[in-house]
Amino acid sequence: MTAPDPIGTHHLDARILDQLRLDGRIGRNELSARLGVSRPTVSKRLDALLESGHTRVVGIVHPATVGLEALAHVSVSVEQPVRQVAARVAALPEVPYVSLISGRYPLIAEIRCGDAAELAAALDRIRSIDGVRDTNTLYYSDLMIDAGQPQKVAEAALDALDRRLLAQLQEDGRASYAILAAAAGTTPGTARMRVMRLIDEGIVRIGALSTPGHGDTEVAVGFGVRASGRVSGLSPLIAELPGVRFLAATIGRFDLLGTIFAPRLDEVVSALDRLRALRRVLEVDNWVHLDLMKEHYGAPMR
Domain containing residue 85: CATH number: 3.30.70.3460
Same-domain status, 14 and 110: no
299 and 170 in contact (C-beta within 8 Å)?
yes
Q: What is the CATH number of the domain that holds 187?
A: 1.10.10.10
Are 252 and 115 in the same domain?
yes
The per-residue pLDDT for range 27-60, each reduced to its tens digit, is 999 999 999 999 999 999 999 988 887 888 999 9
Residues 209 and 295: beta-carbon distance below 8 Å:
yes
* Same domain, residue pair 220 and 191: no
Confidence (pTM): 0.86
Number of compact structural domains in the chain: 3
Residue 288 lies in a domain: yes
In this predicted model, what pLDDT tens digit does every residue of 220-274 receive, in sequence order? 999 999 999 889 899 999 999 999 999 999 999 999 999 999 988 899 999 999 9
155 residue type, one letter: E
Q: Are residues 216 and 285 in the same domain?
A: yes
Q: Is the pLDDT assigned to residue 77 strictly greater than 90?
A: yes
C-alpha distances in angstroms, 65 versus 55, 187, 206, 301? Answer: 25, 26, 15, 11
Q: Kindly state whether residue 164 falls inside one of the protein's structural domains.
A: yes
Residue percentage of the chain with pLDDT more than 90: 74
Same domain, 144 and 268: yes
Q: Are residues 88 and 35 in the same domain?
A: no
In a domain, 3, yes or no: no
Instruction: Tell me the CATH number at 47.
Output: 1.10.10
| Same domain as 252, residue 219 | yes
Dist. CA 21–CA 40, nearest whole Å:
21
Query: What is the residue range of 170's domain?
Result: 157-200
**pLDDT over 50 at 155, yes or no:** yes
